[in-house]
Amino acid sequence: MSESNIDIELSYLRKKIDREKDARKQAEVLLENKSTELFDINQRLQEANQQLDVIVTRRTKALKATAERVEITSDELQNTVNRLSLVLDVANAVTWLFNVRHQTMDIAGKSQSLLGIEPTKAIPADDILSRIHKDDQVQLTEELGFALKEGKAISLRCRVMSRNGSYRWFLINGELSSFGAKRSLCVIGSCIEMHEQVEREREVWRMANHDALTGLPNRNHFETQFNALAGESFVSGEGFTLALIDINDFTQINDTYGHRTGDGVLQDFADILRGYSDHATHIARLSGDEYIVVFKNNIATWSAHELCQKLIDECATMSIQDGERLGLSLTMGLAVFPKDGGTMDDLMQSVYSAVQVGKQKKHIGSSCVLYNSSIERERFRERDIRSALKAAIEHQSFDLAFQPIMCNQSRYFVGCEALFRWPDMGGQWDIQEVIDVAENSGLILDLGEQVIDMAFSKLSHLSDMGVKKWVAINISPLQFQFQDVPHIISKALIKYNVDPAMLVVEVTENIFLENITRVAAVLGQLTKMGVRVAIDDFGSGYSSLRYVQSLPLDKIKIDKAFIDNVGSSAESQGIVNAVINMSHSMNYKVVAEGVETEEQLTALKEMGCDFIQGYLFSKPLSFDELIKLDDFSASAPLVLKTHLGRTL
Amino acid sequence: MKGIIFTEFVELVETTFGYGVANALLEGCDLPSGGAYTTVGTYDHEEILSLVGRLQKLTGTPAPDLLEAYGKYLFPKLAEQMTAMSLKFDGALDLLCSLESIIHKEVLKLYPDAELPSFNIKKINAKEILMEYRSCRPFAHLAKGLIDGCGDYYQQTLSVSMKHLNTDTEFSTLITVRQS
């Protein structure tokens, strides 16, 4: 290598060293820049890292909070599930899910102890259905069908076979729903055991609808049953016969034998009625002594009548305690649905009318009356009287007539009987019929009060005139039963300021049918007030000497039926004589009613009858006519003449 | 253009042509950098064009041949960097097919400001690919030298043909590479 080449190379290498130095400086600057850049990047990374840390911390916190919430929710859910499970256990309930597609059921809860089924899934629905009582299966299937087709909620009671194989009552509720990820169609519900409750309800229903003494259905049950039977009858077009049975004078059995025996008789009677169950759709006890039998619609009315007759015969001799025989007298009414009444009220009205007709003959024994149009006419007639009577009571349009009563010894008129009169009464009715209607309808209570007031008004008038003669007024047994008669009379005595001795209260023997202790007490009160008491129409009713003896009486009025035959019938005369003697032996005066002939008068005089009342001396008179009677107003004995003109 | 292209080029000139040519080359070009290159630096690509143009005059070797020879010389240096970047390929064609999708992406991660040519690569068959070179710089021959260097690196024989499709605004060349 030449020297110049060496110089060139050296020069190049020197320059290269310089260039390398420059390059190194460049590189150092670059590195410095890169270092700064890296530092900045690092700084930014740190900041980013910090921000990331903040974000991570925040996110972690949020996640923790969410996790805690999830945990709490999970706990709450678990608690809810536990509570639900407890509630199901306490309520003796299970839950069920009916998978519509697979026709299976899932059961959860106390199904093992309640139903003997392990809580499990996918039990074939038919297996469950077979555990439902056969009478309830159709309804359950129908309700499930409605739930599926119309989305209608299920709620029904049915009997489900329990663990021991017996059926128990459950309340089944359910609703259409869906379940699982695929939202499969299902019906979800509960099955709550309510056997005890249903049994209690049935017991309550039984008590509310049955008579405790006889165990027969009561009026309430009869009314429900009647509506159902009437509905069926309208659909089928076939009527039925209904019998109303009334035990005649049942209170006498209670009074005579005691309530325990009376109850026994009613129970025996109910058993006899049950013997007719094959012929009847319904047998019920409506009240104390009223029973109803609804005959099957294939029993013709004449057959029903025969069966009633058979019942009457069966009851004619019943055995009571110690083998004693007792004849039970029945009054039965028969009416046909819908011919004799298209509603229960109308039919009952008809059958009651028939019984009323029978009741009129009860003194001759049992009877069975088939309702007919004449009874209906009678019923309308009674209704008309009732209606007119009501209006008349409101307008106080009544009056009194007075029939004088003569002393058989002194021949004075010593008093009179006030008789009810209704001046505006229609000509088609008679006064006794009106009184009967008033008695049957209860209108006698208001009417009786008006009569008492009118009688007192006239008594006051007589008193003012200085006429000291008694006035007898009739008091109905109904008034004794439902009104405070002594109080009413006491008020009138004060109001009119009359001497109580001028008043005679006449009561009929029917009063003995009431509580005799109470009757005795009431009559005793009247006697204490100074009012005198007479038994009217003696001999026409019970004529119980025991009662007559025990009551505080002043007079006995012999029924006109006996007086009619005095003088012509030795038998009647004997009875009248006996009554007079008996009454006198008890210090009671005797009044003979309805004396119309001199023969009767002579005979009664011979028998020592104290007082005479009748057409022989005077018909019933208006008050003005009465006070114009010299014989009545005079205080001295007069020679009386009969209207036949003979001097007595 | 990254500094390694310059440092390696100068080193190649020093090695192949001696310090005298290298001195004449660097002294004869009016280089803004003054020829003080560092591998981590970035320099104007015009400088390499100046250097190649000057070398052509000094040595009488055509510029495309110089660029191809340089590319062939450069590839193993770049391959070292690929190894450092844990990039591994089954062979030359595998590497070339991954040029755009893997290698350039990794280069850009290291040098976000690097201006790389684009290659649209089409696989003709298992042994042949078609590479469409597109760049604002006229370095298609450098690319060819690199492809040759790649073949050498994987010890595979590649035949590389080029078809220039340059326009006024862009340098574009279709490069067909066949492995034999």
Tell me if the domain spanning A396-633 has CATH number 3.20.20.450.
yes
Say yes or no to pLDDT of A43 above 70: yes
Backbone phi and psi for residue A567, each to the nearest 5 degrees, phi listed first: 95, -25
Distance in Å, alpha carbon of B131 to nearest chain A alpha carbon: 35
Q: Measure CB to CB from residue B23 to each of A11, A20, A31 and give the nearest one.
A: A11
Q: Which of A9, A15, A25, A38 to mutate to test the interface with B (most CBs of B within 10 A)?
A: A15
Write down the pLDDT at residue A543: 64
Q: Does domain A212-371 have CATH number 3.30.70.270?
A: yes
Say whether pLDDT at A423 is over 70: yes
Residue A159, beta-bridge partner list: A169
Statement to judge: residues B169 and B133 lie in one domain: yes
Q: Give the pairing of strands B158-164 and A167-179.
A: unpaired
Name the pLDDT band for A637 (thresholds 50, 70, 90): very low
A469 and A462 Cβ atoms separated by less than 8 Å:
yes
- pLDDT bin (cut points 50, 70, 90) of residue A513 is low
- Asked if residue A379 has pLDDT above 80, the reply is no
Note whether A12 contacts B35, CB cutoff 8 Å: no
Does residue B109 share a domain with residue B28? no
Considering only alpha carbons, which residue of chain B is nearest residue A10?
A: B19
B44 plus B87 within the same structural domain: no
A4 touches chain B (CB under 8 A): no
Does the bond joining A338 to the residue before it have cis omega, within 30 degrees of 0?
A: yes
Task: Provide mean pLDDT across the span A586-591.
Answer: 92
CB pairs under 8 A between A and B: 43
B170 & B87 share domain: yes
Instruction: List the single residue in A with minimal CA-CA distance to B23.
Output: A12
CA–CA distance, A457 with B123 (Å, rounded to integer): 145
State yes or no: pLDDT of A294 exceeds 90.
yes
Do both B8 and B97 map to the same domain? no
What percentage of residues in chain A have a pLDDT greater than 70?
95
Structure ipTM: 0.83
CA distance A2 to chain B (A): 12
Average pLDDT over residues A24-34: 85
Q: For residue B101, what is the domain's CATH number?
A: 3.90.1520.10
CB contact under 8 Å between A9 and B26, yes or no, is no
Residues of chain A contacting B39 with CB distance shorter than 8 Å: 27
User: A30 contacts in B (CB within 8 Å)?
Assistant: 38, 40-41
At residue A500 the predicted structure's pLDDT band, cuts being 50, 70 and 90, is very high
**A20 close to B (CB below 8 A):** yes
Residues B41 and B91 in one domain: no
Which chain A residues are Cβ-neighbours of B19 within 8 angstroms? 8-9, 12-13
Query: Domain check: are B94 and B133 in the same one?
Result: yes
CB contact under 8 A, A24 and B23: no
- Asked if B38 and A24 come within 8 Å (Cβ–Cβ), the reply is yes
Report yes or no: A5 at the B interface, CB cutoff 8 Å: yes
CA distance A7 to chain B (A): 10
Nearest-by-CA chain B residue for A24: B38
* B18: nearest CA partner in chain A: A9
Mean pLDDT rounded to a whole number for chain A: 87
Do residue A26 and residue B41 have CB atoms under 8 angstroms apart?
yes
Task: For residue B38, give the nearest of A13, A23, A34 by CB distance.
Answer: A23
Q: How far apart are CA A66 and CA A68, in angstroms?
A: 5
**Interface mutation vs chain B, best among A2, A9, A19, most B CBs within 10 Å:** A19
Interface test with A, best of B6, B38, B43, B44 (most A CBs within 10 A): B38
CB spacing of B41 vs A27 below 8 angstroms: yes
Q: What is d(CA B95, CA A608) in angstroms, rounded to the nearest whole number?
A: 165
Q: Which residues of A touch B5 (CB under 8 A)?
A: none
Q: What residues does each domain of chain A span?
A: 91-200, 212-371, 396-633
Residues of chain B that touch chain A, judged by Cβ-Cβ distance less than 8 Å: 18-20, 22-23, 26, 34-41
CB contact under 8 A, A5 and B26: no
Chain B contacts of A26, Cβ < 8 Å? 36, 38, 41
d(CA B171, CA B116): 13
Cβ-defined contact of B38 to A26 (cutoff 8 Å)? yes
Predicted confidence band at A645 (pLDDT cuts at 50, 70, 90)?
very low
| Residue in A9, A23, A26 closest to B20 by CB | A9
Distance, in Å, from the CA atom of A415 to the CA atom of A405, rounded to the nearest integer, reads 5
Q: Which residues, at least 6 apart from A611, have a Cβ–Cβ distance to it below 8 Å?
A: A405, A406, A407, A408, A414, A415, A555, A589, A590, A591, A592
pLDDT of residue A90: 81
State which residue of chain B sits closest to A25, comparing Cα positions. B38
Partner residue facing B40 (CB), from A21, A22, A30:
A30
State whether A8 and B40 contact (CB < 8 Å).
Answer: no
Q: Is A8 on the interface with B (CB under 8 A)?
A: yes
Residue A68: burial class (beta carbons within 10 Å; 0-12, 13-18, 19+)? exposed
Q: What percent of chain A has pLDDT over 90?
A: 44
* pLDDT (tens digit per residue) in A440-487: 888 999 999 999 999 999 999 998 888 888 999 999 988 888 889 999
A24 contact residues in B (CB cutoff 8 A) = 38
Average pLDDT of A108-129? 80
Architecture of domain A91-200: 2-Layer Sandwich (3.30)
Task: Give how far A30 is from chain B: nearest CA, Å.
Answer: 7
pLDDT level of residue A648 (50, 70, 90 thresholds):
very low
Confidence of residue A363 (pLDDT cuts 50, 70, 90): low
Please tell me which residue of chain A has the smallest CA distance to B27.
Answer: A12
Question: How far does A43 lie from chain B, in Å, by closest CA?
Answer: 19
Which of A19-33, A79-93, A346-360, B126-140 is most confident? B126-140
Residues of A in contact with B37 (CB under 8 A): 19, 23
pLDDT digits (tens, 9 = 90+) for B63-109: 999 999 999 999 999 999 888 888 889 999 999 999 999 999 988 88
Predicted confidence (pLDDT) at residue A249 exceeds the cutoff of 50:
yes
pLDDT of residue A612: 94
**Among A22-36, A78-92, A291-305, the range of highest mean pLDDT:** A291-305
Reported as a pLDDT band with limits 50, 70 and 90, residue A291 is: very high
**Model pLDDT, residue A442:** 86
pLDDT of residue A358 exceeding 60: yes
Quick check: A642 pLDDT over 70? Answer: no
What is the C-alpha to C-alpha distance for residues A170 and A173, in angstroms, rounded to an integer?
10
Domain boundary among B61, B77, B99: B61
B42 and B79 together in one domain: no
Beta-carbon count within 10 A of A20 CB: 15
**How many residues belong to chain B?**
180
pLDDT of residue A634: 64
Q: Tell whether the model's pLDDT for residue A646 goes beyond 50.
A: no
- Select the residue of A8, A13, A22 nearest B34 (Cβ to Cβ): A22
The tens digit of pLDDT for each residue in A536-565 reads 988 776 667 777 888 888 999 998 888 998
- Per residue in A139-197, pLDDT (tens digit) is 998 988 888 888 889 999 999 888 888 899 999 999 988 877 777 788 999 888 888 89
Give every CB contact of residue A517 below 8 A, 6+ residues apart in sequence: none
The alpha carbon of residue A54 is apart from the nearest alpha carbon of chain B, in Å, by: 28
Which residues of chain A does B20 touch, with a Cβ-Cβ cutoff of 8 Å?
A: 5, 8-9, 12
Give the gap in angstroms from C-alpha A8 to the nearest C-alpha of chain B.
6
CA distance B158 to chain A (A): 37
Mean pLDDT score, A502-507: 93
Checking phi first, is residue B14 left (phi over 0); if not, alpha (psi -120 to 50) or beta? alpha
Q: Is A234 on the interface with B (CB under 8 A)?
A: no
- pLDDT less than 50: residues of chain B: none
The verdict on A9 touching B (C-beta cutoff 8 Å) is yes
Give the minimum alpha-carbon distance from A39 to chain B in angstroms, rounded to a whole number.
17
User: Where residue A94 falls among pLDDT bands split at 50, 70, 90?
Assistant: confident
Strand A93-99's sheet: what is its strand order? A123-124, A104-109, A93-99, A184-193, A167-179, A154-161
Distance from CA of B35 to the nearest CA of A (A): 7
Query: pLDDT value at position A93?
Result: 84
Contact B41 A11 (CB under 8 A): no
Same domain, B89 and B133: yes
Q: What is the rounded CA–CA span in Å between residue B46 and residue B25?
A: 15
Residues A383-392 as b/e (b if ≥16 CB within 10 A, e otherwise) read eebbebbeeb
Instruction: Work out how many domains chain B is built from and give that number.
Output: 2
Identify which of A565, A489, A568, A572 has the alpha carbon closest to the alpha carbon of residue A527.
A489
pLDDT value of residue A409: 84
Q: Are residues B84 and B13 in the same domain?
A: no
Last residue of a domain, one of B27, B45, B61: B61
pLDDT at A638 over 50: no
Structural domain including B144 reads 66-179
Mean pLDDT of A409-429: 86
Query: Are B81 and B35 within one domain?
Result: no
3-class secondary-structure state, position B23: helix
A589: pLDDT strictly greater than 60: yes
Q: Is A31 on the interface with B (CB under 8 A)?
A: yes
B163 and B103 part of one domain:
yes
